[in-house]
């Protein structure tokens, strides 16, 4: 096929004139393809899917029936712009009740069409060409991608077990600190499962003040916190002076596909985000915002979601340990992050987590997500499909039997 006349016109940020010609396959696409192949090659073998990163349940019936009512109300039909007061007020109540964080609903909260979109827009607020965003790795890359779109530079901060999966802020070179404008944090962390401590947030706030850096704390997994009560960055004194926290309805409320979240914290930053957002979208459907408000007012929803994934993570950790993995109960998130095997007894050796992951899916129909950014790790998700606890246990037993047979070496 010959190139279209506009082949030379593609912007460098998507690959320039080479757009669409690369042969590199990205990680998640590689996993999808391997999964399809495993199913086709071994239809007799149950696929044990620890690779899925999204909730396996629908939103609760109460939220869906509220949505059914709201969808028929004519006043909900139009552009939502920067959001309806009912949602922002529910957010403020939720933040106060769950984290003891006081917010002015009118000025310190703005909804977003899922937290992904807010993370994509926040670099537009701060990044000029040459500016630096500090991003922890492994992690959710969206703010980094958009930093680069604006001509900015991403400086990565590895999350390593020797630092307890916190970034080494003191180790950031002086010239990088000087040019850095954003520090993107994510606690509970995906994929490492680490939860933040108050002391870490205090240190991060002091670092931001000293170096004139804005903190964006991604709290997408916050309602999946298992070590005590969930901790909001904004509950730490001084946080509101240096940044914002981005929240999501996806994980903690089983509302992945509904596309709803919010940004809260520093009023000036929330306003700037709202200004950028106003130029990108016209807000989430008001019926969804109102159903979301009802969900936020019902603390039994995130409590039930947390109970389920905590139980599943514990089972997963115990199973992996019995198969030789060094697996730790995550402090939060629905992921177990475990060092990747270096090989198989009497079988292949693996240089990377990606190689181990490809072997597990191709040869044993066990799907995981590999991370090689800061050591070789496999992410096992507790969001596999198993409608009952008996089916959960059966799946764990099948995984254990298969993994023990493989005999992974570490
Ligand atoms: C760490 C983290 N942040 C943000 C998101 C985006 O979530 P959503 O756009 O569904 O709110 C995800 C989704 O996987 C995530 O894992």
DSSP letters spanning 197-257:
-HHHHHHHHHHHHHHT-EEEEE-TTTTSB-SSS---GGGSTTHHHHEEEEEESTTTTT-GG
Given the CA of residue 119, which atom of ligand 1 is nearest to it?
Answer: 4
Q: How far is the CA of 393 from the centre of ligand 1 (A)?
A: 28
Using the mean position of ligand 1's atoms as its centre, give its distance from the Cα of residue 116 in Å: 6
Which residue, 292, 295, 274, is CA-closest to 76? 292
Residues 6+ apart with CB under 8 A from 105: 85, 88, 89, 91, 92
Pocket of ligand 1 (CB under 6 A): 53, 114-116, 140, 186, 190, 218, 220, 248, 250, 256, 261
Query: How does pLDDT run across 259-314, given as a tens digit for each residue?
Result: 999 999 999 999 999 999 999 999 999 999 999 999 999 999 999 999 999 999 99
Exposure class string for 309-330: b at 16+ Cβ within 10 A, else e: bbebbebbbebbeebbbebbeb
Residue 1: which pLDDT band, with cuts at 50, 70 and 90?
confident
User: What pLDDT, on a 0 to 100 scale, did the predictor assign at position 25?
Assistant: 83
Going from the Cα of 3 to the center of ligand 1, the distance in angstroms, rounded, reads 36
Going from the Cα of 130 to the center of ligand 1, the distance in angstroms, rounded, reads 26
The closest-lying atom of ligand 1 relative to the alpha carbon of residue 250 is 10
Q: Answer yes or no: pTM beyond 0.85.
A: yes
Shortest-distance Cα residue to atom 12 of ligand 1: 220
For 107-166, how does the pLDDT look when each residue is reduced to its tens digit (9 = 90+)?
999 999 999 999 999 999 999 999 999 999 999 999 999 999 999 999 999 999 999 999
Per residue in 41-95, pLDDT tens?
999 999 999 998 999 999 999 999 999 999 999 999 999 999 999 999 999 999 9
Report the separation in Å between the CA atom of 232 and the middle of ligand 1, taken as the mean of its atom positions. Answer: 16
Tell me the per-residue pLDDT of 233-247, one tens digit each, with 9 for 90 and over.
Answer: 999 999 999 999 999
In this prediction, residue 271 carries a pLDDT of 98
Give me the pLDDT at residue 354, please: 96
* Six-digit token string for 237: 């004194």
Nearest atom within ligand 1 for CA of residue 218: 3
**Do residues 368 and 380 lie in contact, with contact meaning Cβ atoms separated by under 8 Å?**
yes
How many angstroms does the Cα of residue 234 sit away from the middle of ligand 1? Answer: 19
Burial of 36 from C-beta contacts in 10 A (0-12 / 13-18 / 19+): exposed
Distance in Å, CA 220 to ligand 1 centroid: 6
Model confidence band, residue 376 (pLDDT cutoffs 50, 70, 90): very high
The dihedrals phi and psi of 182, each to the nearest 5 degrees, come to -125, 140
Site to substitute for ligand 1 among 114, 220, 334, most atoms within 8 A of C-beta: 220
């Amino acid at each position: 096929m010959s190139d279209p006349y506009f082949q030379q016109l593609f912007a460098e940020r998507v690959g320039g004139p080479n757009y669409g010609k690369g042969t590199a396959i990205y990680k998640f696409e590689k996993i999808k393809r391997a999964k399809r192949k495993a199913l086709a090659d071994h239809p007799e073998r149950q696929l044990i899917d620890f690779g899925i990163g999204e909730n396996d349940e629908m939103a609760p019936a109460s939220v869906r029936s509220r949505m059914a009512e709201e969808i028929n109300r004519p006043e909900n039909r139009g552009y939502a712009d920067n959001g309806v007061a009912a949602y922002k007020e529910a957010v403020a109540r939720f933040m106060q009740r769950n984290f003891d964080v006081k917010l002015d609903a009118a000025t310190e909260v703005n909804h977003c069409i899922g937290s992904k979109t807010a993370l994509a827009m926040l670099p537009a607020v701060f990044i000029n060409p040459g500016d630096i965003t500090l991003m922890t790795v492994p992690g959710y890359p969206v703010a980094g991608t958009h930093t680069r779109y604006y001509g900015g530079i991403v400086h990565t901060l590895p999350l390593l077990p020797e630092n307890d999966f916190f970034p080494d802020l003191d180790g950031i070179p002086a010239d990088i600190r000087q040019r850095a404008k954003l520090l993107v944090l994510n606690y509970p962390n995906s994929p490492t499962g680490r939860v933040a401590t108050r002391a870490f947030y205090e240190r991060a706030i002091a670092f931001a003040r000293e170096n004139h850096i804005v903190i964006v704390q991604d709290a997408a997994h916050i309602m999946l916190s298992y070590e005590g009560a969930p901790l909001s960055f904004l509950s730490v004194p001084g946080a509101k002076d240096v940044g914002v926290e981005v929240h999501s309805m996806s994980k903690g409320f089983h509302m992945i596909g509904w596309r709803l979240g919010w940004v809260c914290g520093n009023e000036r930053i929330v306003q700037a985000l709202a200004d950028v957002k106003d130029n990108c979208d016209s807000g989430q459907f008001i019926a969804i915002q109102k159903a979301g408000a009802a969900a936020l007012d019902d603390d039994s929803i995130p409590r039930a979601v947390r109970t389920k994934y905590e139980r599943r993570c514990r089972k997963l950790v115990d199973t992996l340990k019995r198969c030789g993995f060094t697996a730790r109960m995550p402090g939060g998130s629905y992921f177990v992050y475990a060092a990747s095997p270096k090989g198989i007894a009497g079988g292949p050796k693996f240089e990377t987590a990606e190689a181990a992951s490809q072997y597990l899916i191709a040869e044993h129909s066990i799907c995981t997500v590999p991370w090689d950014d800061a050591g070789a790790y496999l992410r096992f998700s507790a969001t596999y499909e198993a409608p009952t606890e008996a089916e959960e246990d059966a799946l764990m037993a099948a995984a254990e039997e298969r993994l023990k047979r493989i005999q992974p070496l570490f």
